[in-house]
Structure 1
Amino acid sequence: MSWRQNSKAEVKRKQQKKTEVSSRCFAVVCCCLLLFVVGAQMDTQSYFPVQAGVGMEENFLSLDDILLSHERLPVRTECTFPRLGYLEKSSDAHDIAEGSKMELPLWLSKGLYERKRRVLSVELPKVYREGWRTVFNADPNVVDLHKMGPYYYSLGSQMLHFDSPENPDIAETLLQTFIGRFRRTMDSSQNAYNEDTSALVERLDSLEKGLFRSGQSGLNGFQSWEKGQATQITASSLVLNYRKRKINDLQP
């Protein structure tokens, strides 16, 4: 009986050892895959990008949308805001009186704006008013959109949340401006290989900058394919360093 018990115990120990080895191998493989994926991302950028919201919807995890939500809008109060006078640095009043004009960030303006109970009314920023819409309709390529506001298209789409008789005209101007500038933006991205494009990019809206970078990335990929470099798969620097450390640990 003792011999059989010892044999069973030995078999059980071998099975446990085999399971531990398999688990360790699986963990090593997972670590290598994780390092490869993270390394591939770190070779190009420091964080995983999240696309901005489309149209009137924002993406909470997008850095561009977070910055967009802090764009300040001119508003006019439609009622008295008690005990909030300290928010107006130019006034010593205890309350914010009805009819006061101020600037509030987009996220707060959207939160306070109600169609049924009018707490405040939002005025159009000057870049979306009729005067500038005429300029955009004439020739949108002459306008420095980054100077006018780095989120021209996104903020314009957000302005459609607020009731305004000019909303149809704003939407039409946004569309025609994008169409009018799109071809020039993409042509420039395809014809500026290994050239300094800082002067061109600094005049673009954030959405146009993303399109420009996509065009440049496609051009670089095509050039690599022509040179026969597209099929060469190389390991990340993090994976190579990890392998070196493993080899050094195994050496006596």
Structure 2
Amino acid sequence: MLSEAEALKNSFENFLSLDDILLSHQRLPVRTECAFPRLGFLDRSSDSEDLPEGTKMELPLWLSKGLYERKRRVLSVKLPNVYREGWRTVFTADPNVVNLHKMGPYYYGLGSQMLHFDSPENTDIAQTLLQTFIGRFRRVMDCSQNAYNEDTSSLLERLDCLEKALFQAGQSGLNGFQSWEKGRASQLTASSLVLNYRKRKMADVED
């Protein structure tokens, strides 16, 4: 059985997904723990050819993961504010009051990727991500099922990209059911989320 942290860390790795590509370009605050010859161009505030030890800057997620090594510490990654203890307390109290899109449109995706970097807070981060998703899921789906033919822009502007996808899937299912009930559709079909889940289960069985 995978732990919550391991399961989340292994998700969001589809490089054919536009959302995953945008997620990989989210910038993280980092600090170099050794000198990097000929990588001075990564620090826009310096004209040096090399990147000296102790340099603080921001790098995209994909580059931070590429430079990060557990055995030989060459780069340390600082937690974005939204994953720190202060905000974790807010999410624990009531996750529905938070505007996740404003905090970061890839809250769940970026949070799961932060687990690649060794941190004593990883277990707490994973737990908060899971509980936040569970705490907001019912409201997201309830809204998607009770907003038939209504303007949903005010609802969507508070959701992270994963929640928006769930909301849209819920609305698509509702619209399909309404069409079928009125005789406008010949049959109901399984949603793409269900089909993708079945494919993953089949792949796990084959492995």
TM-score (norm 2): 0.83
**Structure 2 counterpart SS, 1:111:** helix
TM superposition shift of 1:164: 0.2
**Equivalent position to 1:159, from 110, 114, 119:** 114
Runs of 4 or more above 4 Å deviation = none
Paired letter, 2:105: P
Where does structure 1 lack aligned partners over 5 or more consecutive residues? 1-53, 233-252
Q: CA-to-partner distance for each residue in 1:4-48, whole Å, 9 max, x for gaps? A: xxxxxxxxxxxxxxxxxxxxxxxxxxxxxxxxxxxxxxxxxxxxx
Aligned to 1:192: 147
The answer to whether the 8 Å contact 1:82/1:94 transfers is yes
After superposition, where does 1:62-211 map in structure 2 within 5 Å?
62-211=17-166
Alignment of 1:214-229 (within 5 A): 214-229=169-184
* 1:56 corresponds to 2:17: no
Matches of 1:213 and 1:193 in 2, distance apart? Answer: 11
The separation in 1 between residues aligned to 2:53 and 2:30, in whole angstroms, is 12
Structure-2 residue corresponding to 1:238: none
Max Rg structure = 1
Query: 2-side partners of 1:158 and 1:63: how far apart?
Result: 16
The 8 Å contact of residues 190 and 216 in structure 1, kept in 2 or not, is answered as: yes
Aligned positions, number: 180
CA RMSD of aligned residues (A): 1.6
Q: Distance in 2 between matches of 1:125 and 1:154?
A: 13
Give unmatched runs, 5+ long, in structure 2.
Answer: 1-7, 188-207
Shift of 1:100: 1.0
- For residues 173-208 of structure 1, the C-alpha deviation after alignment (integer angstroms, 9 at most, x for no partner) is 001100110010000000000000001001101100
Describe the SS at the equivalent of 1:97: coil
Task: State the structure with bigger RCO (CA 8 A, min sep 6), 1 or 2.
Answer: 2
For residue 55 of structure 1, report the CA deviation from its aligned partner.
4.7
> Helix, strand or coil for the counterpart of 2:59?
strand
Q: Is the 8 A contact 2:28 2:58 kept in 1?
A: yes
2:133 match: secondary structure: helix
Q: Distance in 1 between matches of 2:42 and 2:116?
A: 25
Q: Which amino acid aligns with 1:85?
A: G
Normalised to the residue count of structure 1, the TM-score between the two structures is 0.69
* Alpha-carbon separation, structure 1, partners of 2:84 and 2:141: 28
Q: Secondary structure at the match of 2:63?
A: helix
